[in-house]
Structure 1
Amino acid sequence: MTIKTTAKRISVGVAALALAGTAFVGSAHAGNVSAKASSDCPSGWFCVWAGDDYKGQMQKVEGNNADLSRFTVFVHARSGFNNGKSCDVNLYGGKNYTDFLGTMKRGDKGPGPGHEVKILANKWVNCR
């Protein structure tokens, strides 16, 4: 599934997004920083921003996460970047890997201006 396809799903009421990460497995931790560009996302992480075009508050995670609801930026994400080193990422609109939104390939960015998405879980896949 492409970011364009995911953005279309969002526009018809699906409140989630698909973005990616790293080959890290197990419990993940999150960082929260103010960022102004997708290049601010560290290598090996999946990052989302509160604003369009990678502006505003940034939230980053590594590893699989069954519940991202405690991170405000994931609940109201407007930009995202899979800066993973070797994996794509499956994104889910529900906790515990439910409500599959799509897969974001390593290096992909999205969804685009004007689209708010809700990501409540992520799982790294297709690691090379």
Structure 2
Amino acid sequence: MTINTTLRRIGIVIGSLAIASTAFTSTAHAEDASTKAASDCPKGWLCVWTGESYTGRMQKVEGNNADLSQYSVFANGYKSIYNNGKDCDFKAWLGKDYTGESGIIERGYKSTGPYAKKFLSNKWVNCT
């Protein structure tokens, strides 16, 4: 299956690395300010934006999170993403509690586009 096929199928960016068992404290944080660049995402976080080209409301995620559904940008979809993780890739699941289809968003990955993607739980994996 190609990456493009997988993207359409599960709605999140897929990498190619397996899950690791490192645990972190769960933290998701909503930014109220509008941002205009991927560089607005702090080191160590995964950030998503409601708009294309890193515009609109930014949502930051640090640590593992079993339920991101209270954050509308994850539940309803985002249009830009940047994994600015320090040492790890980001594994995202379509369902809460690490259920449903999943995929890896590799450290350093950036994307913006006309699509809306969503996920409801995450873990940081493949840590170096």
Please indicate the TM-score interval, normalised by the length of the shorter structure.
0.7 to 0.9
Measured after TM superposition, the shift of residue 18 of structure 1 is 4.4
CA distance in 1, matches of 2:31, 2:80: 15
Query: Residue 12 of structure 2: which of 11, 17, 24 is its match?
Result: 17
CA distance in 2, matches of 1:18, 1:83: 15
CA distance in 1, matches of 2:40, 2:64: 21
Structure 1 residues 14-71: Cα deviation after superposition (integer angstroms, max 9, x where no partner) = 4x4248xxx7702224131321111100000010000111111100010000100101
Q: Residue 79 of structure 2 corresponds to which residue in structure 1? A: 78
* Structure 1 residue runs without a partner (length 5+): none
* Structure 2 residue runs without a partner (length 5+): 15-21
| Deviant stretches of 4+, over 2 Å | 1-9, 16-19
Q: Residue 25 of structure 2 corresponds to which residue in structure 1? A: 26
CA distance in 2, matches of 1:55, 1:29: 19
Q: Residue 126 of structure 2 corresponds to which residue in structure 1? A: 126
CA distance in 1, matches of 2:116, 2:36: 18
Structure 1 residues 104-126: Cα deviation after superposition (integer angstroms, max 9, x where no partner) = 1100012x412101110110000
Larger RCO (alpha carbons 8 Å, 6+ apart) = 1
CA distance in 2, matches of 1:115, 1:125: 25
CA distance in 1, matches of 2:23, 2:36: 26
Identity percentage over the alignment?
Answer: 50
Equivalent pairs counted in the alignment come to 119
1:54 aligns with 2:54: yes
Indicate the RMSD between aligned Cα atoms, in angstroms.
2.3
Tell me the TM-score normalised to structure 2 length: 0.81
Measured after TM superposition, the shift of residue 99 of structure 1 is 1.6
